[in-house]
Amino acid sequence: MQTEIATDTKEDPDPSHGPDSLKEFRSAGRGFWNQVDEASWNDWRWQLQHRITNVQQLQRLMPTLTPEEHAGATLANHKLALAITPYFFNLIDPADENCPIRSQVIPRVQETHTAPWEMSDPCGEDSHSPVPGLVHRYPDRVLFLVTDRCAAYCRYCTRSRLVSNATGYDFHPEFDRQIDYIRRHPEVRDVLLSGGDPLLLNDERLEALLTRLSAISHIEFLRIGTRIPIFLPQRITPQLCEMLRKFHPLFISIHSNHPRELTTEAREALGRLADAGIPLGNQSVLLRHVNDDPEVMKVHVQKLLRCRVRPYYIYQCDLIAGSAHLRTSVRQGLEVMENLRGHTSGYAVPQYVIDAPGGGGKVPINPDYILSRTADQVVIRNYEGQVFEYPEAADGAPLVKARASFEASLVG
């Protein structure tokens, strides 16, 4: 197996990163690893074994590391481990300090700065955890943490307290206790497997877990949250898809933030999951200089649909300790949303949410489309700023005027 890194053969990054260029699907290429044989490169285990995990490797592959990144990478393993798959590393533009891929996975020293309002557990998961590895925050569904490992680590991870075990959280899921809790709670109808990344489990372990969960009579459907199709599309093998299709209804939420993450490799991996009948949604985190540009986000959501993935949520970045340099304002988030609704297909428009700090759950955030509301009418505006009046009905009373004009429009 050939595994040497040829450090002088990095393919030129895309010279143009404008919205038109971002629409195209490109391969991540082989970059520094062009000496590696095809079978190894396409083997997800090879990709995991050859991840970039320390500052020396990073500096060697990317001499353009800034002092902030160098210091951040040196300290990284005190907060959240540094790990980047060779495949994903090839998406980084080493010539661009503000590369939207780079800032998601290469630590900066700013991670050591903590604002007073930042937290290690911003969503209050630990306080809603009846047994280790299980979060029961909402009435009818639970979050089932499967592992603390990911293929690569996002510098803004909301679970950085436990993911990668860099802070010594010492996370040990106890599947028996987690499953037992679900069995004893018939109100739980929906289980979301997350972590860490559940698709890092091998096929056999994942199948065993899905089998046990789907055997619980009150579980109506299962979900998996994963960033694997983006960090490690090689993991989405035909065998994995064959196994997953046995557990319908099974939904998968992926996590992609920027159109450049949607490569030909990612599109093919997502296509395999879609062909297995799995409904796919995407969750993006709104990040400064990554996807807080309305045009970039528009390209991203449109490109997701072309990958057969429905944009599901845009999250305001949680108040995770050391993430201030990546957070963008709610005002900017609203501008992003304003540029989507009405300006592109409804299927491409996700819900913007803030996970209420401390464990309040997801709160939908929308631009103000209702201008005023009285007992008699609602005044609304559309995406072009045109204003309309809609007659309000007394509770239970039909909207006679509105119905008459609606029927007239049908006849006409």
CA dist 306 and 267 (Å) reads 8
CA dist 70 and 83 (Å) reads 14
DSSP structure string for 57-124: HHHHH-TT--HHHHHHHHHGGGTS---B-HHHHTT--TT-TT-TTHHHHS--GGGG---TT-BSSTT-
Mark whether 157 is an active-site residue: yes
Mark whether 137 is an active-site residue: yes
Residue 152-171 contact track with ligand SF4, rule CB under 6 A, x = bound: -xx--x-x---x--------
Strands (E), 288-369: 310-316, 351-356, 361-364
Q: Which of 108, 159, 161, 303 is catalytic?
A: 159
Residue 7-36 contact track with ligand SF4, rule CB under 6 A, x = bound: ------------------------------
Is residue 197 close enough to count as binding ligand SF4 by CB under 6 A?
yes
CA dist 387 and 384 (Å) reads 9
Q: Which of 137, 149, 223, 235 is catalytic?
A: 137
Strands (E), 308-407: 310-316, 351-356, 361-364, 370-373, 377-381, 387-391
Mark whether 138 is an active-site residue: yes
Cβ closest to ligand SF4, residue 154 vs residue 280:
154
Mark whether 212 is an active-site residue: no
Mark whether 99 is an active-site residue: no
Residue 201-230 contact track with ligand SF4, rule CB under 6 A, x = bound: --------------------------x---
320-337 in b/e burial notation, b at 16+ Cβ within 10 A?
A: bbbbbbbbbeeebbebbb
Q: Which of 79, 181, 318, 352 is catalytic?
A: 318
Is residue 193 close enough to count as binding ligand SF4 by CB under 6 A?
no
Cβ closest to ligand SF4, residue 157 vs residue 210:
157
Residues of span 227-246 touching ligand SF4 by CB under 6 A = 227
Q: Of 256, 212, 83, nearest to 153 (Cα)?
A: 83
151 touches 200 (CB < 8 A) = yes
Q: Which amino acid is at 344?
A: T
The CB density around residue 382, as the number of other CB atoms within 10 Å, is 11
Q: Which of 157, 241, 307, 317 is catalytic?
A: 157
Q: Which of 99, 150, 307, 317 is catalytic?
A: 150
167 touches 78 (CB < 8 A) = yes
Is residue 150 close enough to count as binding ligand SF4 by CB under 6 A?
yes
Mark whether 161 is an active-site residue: no
* Residues near ligand SF4 (CB under 6 A), total: 11
Smallest distance, ligand SF4 to C-beta of residue 132, A: 17
Smallest distance, ligand SF4 to C-beta of residue 412, A: 52
Q: Which of 37, 138, 176, 306 is catalytic?
A: 138
Q: Which two tokens stand for residue 325?
A: 């340099």
Mark whether 317 is an active-site residue: no
Number of residues assigned to the chain: 412
Mark whether 108 is an active-site residue: no
* Preceding omega of 196 cis (within 30 degrees of 0): yes
Residues of span 254-313 touching ligand SF4 by CB under 6 A = 255
Q: Kindly list the catalytic residues.
A: 137-138, 141, 150, 154, 157, 159, 318, 355, 362
- Could you list the residues that contact ligand SF4 (CB under 6 A)? 150, 153-154, 157, 159, 163, 195-197, 227, 255
